[in-house]
A and B are shown apart, each in its own frame.
Chain A
């Protein structure tokens, strides 16, 4: 098995920038990504479409300078004699002397009655359908949750022909005019979305949330409530729709970093993240991390962190101070967004006793509460007693909610098997041919 100098896991802005930077400095680089095309979530694009010019150029240069392997699901990474093995499904493990973890993030849903009805999608899921497959998620769509990501989702759906019945932003702010995006120097971007929403007459309501979805086989309507400061529902009304796109921020994907024993830290919103130093180095020598796994901060920050990690992994060259200053500014922006869009505790009041907290194992709130009564004082023991997070998704969907319900700080989850793998393949790993 010949060793690469650097293996990069994740083909979004951070991974591509990191791989490219290191490859241009002469490293033998391999980049692996689970999707059919590079791009991650931000630059996701349909077959035959070109992503944004800058990213497209990076990908072109990268494929000439490094090995790019898409459709690779990485189920494990391991340290081995001063190097790392990267285990993708269906092929022999590859060996690399250094590793860059750029595995991105996924939506952070909150449970509410009816959230498991077909037609209820995460905001990121609706966006992925639109950008990656050219499919508009529904005809009458409600967009709900919290955070600036709701704006591009709603604007994209409206432009693609959906009737967006409303954008329900749970945080109480000053509406679009006082949107932190404006305050933080992203006026152009926010104004673009605002203009588009206005043109399509899409109402944007702050301090409102979808607290229930209704329907038999699929969603036919939602209950929209005006929220108090702590997000407890005040008055409520029914809104007809066939689709709901909902998201309350993002969960950094740390599985591979945790497998390697990388130290974690707590982000501004309490999310566990990979702890990195000024050069994106993790606590494990030879392992770097960039982008959302080190704290959700968007594509621009991810790309910058990828570059810094690529420089650092290549060694020698100093990281220019200008990059470090830019990163500090973008990190501050990310922290400001976390502060502007916190999840408030009143959402737990939207749940009924029979509301599923865990979709996979179908664990209702009542069973979580019973486990707590029996002495399950933290999220892990709630899981052990009542099974939320034991199923197919391994707590990726319900983990945040269960942490909130436990009243304890979030812990970085341990997932030694990051993607399901057949016992046959696990038993006899693919050999080099």
Chain B
């Protein structure tokens, strides 16, 4: 019997488990696969404040940003406080960027076009300007998730943390209305609370518990280059169109250049978004567009070779906000999923706030904007 059962050993589940254990709770984490093998394993590791509109998601991002820096202090995974640079091709777009930055109220510097080379020497000439966000960062998400679970289990918990991989949840145990545990491929596990941290599969888990949660897969491809001997790109650099693509509701393909170097020397190139279900077939036209946009931004990349690509399924909710908190429709069930492409960045705040709730405290931030029953009933 655990105080908390967390379903999902991705970065969000790991953060929930870590903070719950730190709050003195006994936690069991189950995952049908290995650690970080699903949504997290196909992520880029973005920890962004720059791409959030003012509002609850930005508040969550700012809290998370602070927590990531704290967690990075434990060591054991790459955390790069590299800063973000959002660039605009036209004067209009540049003004929109600076307006957004002013409204966000986060630390930033407006960078006129002629000053951009000082930030990124290889940027294409002729851009109107950009905004530099020093708080944007990147983390190696798989290792970070694994380390969080490990820290939770070994050093930092007053409670206990147990990880069980290869265990598939097949149903929920109930006592009346109340969720009292999970039925799994390895037998029943009882718990005082069950946290759905199923990422893109969070909607399926909710359905197992008899509640509706509209989490849909939104496919994204990433291109990875050969390792470069000298870093070509210093920041996470993306175009103004990226944030628009994130905020779009269209099922159609949207792409925007997101380019960054990594400590391994490779350059990661995103980002595409399209709603095509769980189809993993590589789309060469999408890869081609990603490459074209990256080369447009950084002409020197034209001669750099792509050596691989991967795709992942971002857990998309119709209002682009994650689902965090208790589900009034199934007492004992909590959700921590639906973060779309921001799950890595938002994981610590999600876990931190949910753990406060699980420990019976009042969460530091109002969780109402993220409540699970905000979507209404399933359309039939």
Contacts and interface: CB of A to CB of B under 8 A. Distances in A.
A and B in direct contact, judged by CB atoms within 8 A: yes
Interface of A: 76, 78, 85, 87, 259, 261, 361, 371, 373-378, 380-381, 384-385, 387, 390-392, 394, 414-417, 420-424, 426-429
B303 A422 contact: yes
A373 B280 CA distance: 29
B146 A87 contact: no
A76 B225 contact: no
A374 B305 contact: no
Contacts of B37: 378, 380-381, 384
A423 B226 contact: no
B313 to A, nearest CB: 15
A375 B34 contact: yes
15 contacts: A76-B282, A261-B281, A373-B150, A374-B146, A377-B34, A380-B34, A380-B41, A381-B35, A381-B36, A390-B264, A420-B226, A423-B223, A423-B225, A424-B291, A426-B287
A356 to B, nearest CB: 16
Interface in B269-302: 269, 280-282, 284, 287-288, 291-292, 294-295, 301-302
Contacts of A373: 150
B103 interface: no
B246 interface: no
B349 interface: no
A412 to B, nearest CB: 13
B92 to A, nearest CB: 26
B188 to A, nearest CB: 22
B284 A76 contact: yes
Contacts of A416: 282, 287, 308-310
A423 B294 contact: yes
Contacts, number: 120
Given A87-B284, A424-B303, A375 B163 contact: yes
Interface of B: 9, 33-37, 41, 142-143, 146-147, 149-150, 163, 165-166, 223, 225-227, 264, 269, 280-282, 284, 287-288, 291-292, 294-295, 301-310
Contacts of A384: 36-37, 41, 142-143
Contacts of B225: 423
Nearest to B298: A423
A423 B302 contact: yes
Contact of A376 (B146, B280, B301, B307): B146
Given A384-B36, A423-B294, A78 B149 contact: no
Contacts of B143: 374, 384-385
A378 B307 contact: no
Contact of B295 (A417, A420, A423): A423
Contacts of A371: 146
A361 to B, nearest CB: 7
Nearest to B302: A424
Contacts of A426: 223, 287-288, 291, 306
A394 B308 CA distance: 8
A21 to B, nearest CB: 30
A429 B288 contact: yes
A417 B288 CA distance: 12
A394 B166 contact: no
Contacts of B287: 416-417, 426
A375 B146 CA distance: 7
B34 A420 contact: no
Contacts of B294: 423, 427
Nearest to B267: A423
A385 B291 contact: no
Most buried by A among B223, B292, B303, B306: B306
B150 A428 contact: no
B295 A374 contact: no
B35 A374 contact: yes
B177 to A, nearest CB: 33
B284 A78 contact: yes
Contacts of B282: 76, 78, 259, 416
Most buried by B among A259, A394, A423: A423
Most buried by A among B37, B269, B284: B284
Contact of A420 (B284, B288, B306): B306
Given A375-B163, A426-B287, A427-B292, A381 B33 contact: yes
A381 B291 contact: no
Given A376-B35, A423-B301, A417 B142 contact: no
A374 B36 CA distance: 10
Contacts of B147: 374
A427 B295 contact: yes
Nearest to A393: B307
A87 B285 CA distance: 12
Contact of A417 (B35, B165, B307): B307
A415 B281 CA distance: 11
A170 B291 CA distance: 47
Given A381-B35, A427-B295, 12 more contacts: A76-B282, A375-B146, A380-B37, A381-B142, A384-B142, A414-B280, A416-B282, A417-B287, A417-B306, A420-B226, A422-B302, A429-B288
B33 A422 contact: no
Given A381-B142, A387-B264, A420-B226, A375 B292 contact: no
A425 to B, nearest CB: 8
A359 to B, nearest CB: 13
B6 to A, nearest CB: 13
Nearest to A373: B150
Contacts of A259: 282
Most buried by A among B9, B226, B303, B308: B308
A261 B283 CA distance: 13
A422 B303 CA distance: 5
Contacts of B280: 414
Contacts of B36: 381, 384-385
A427 B35 CA distance: 34
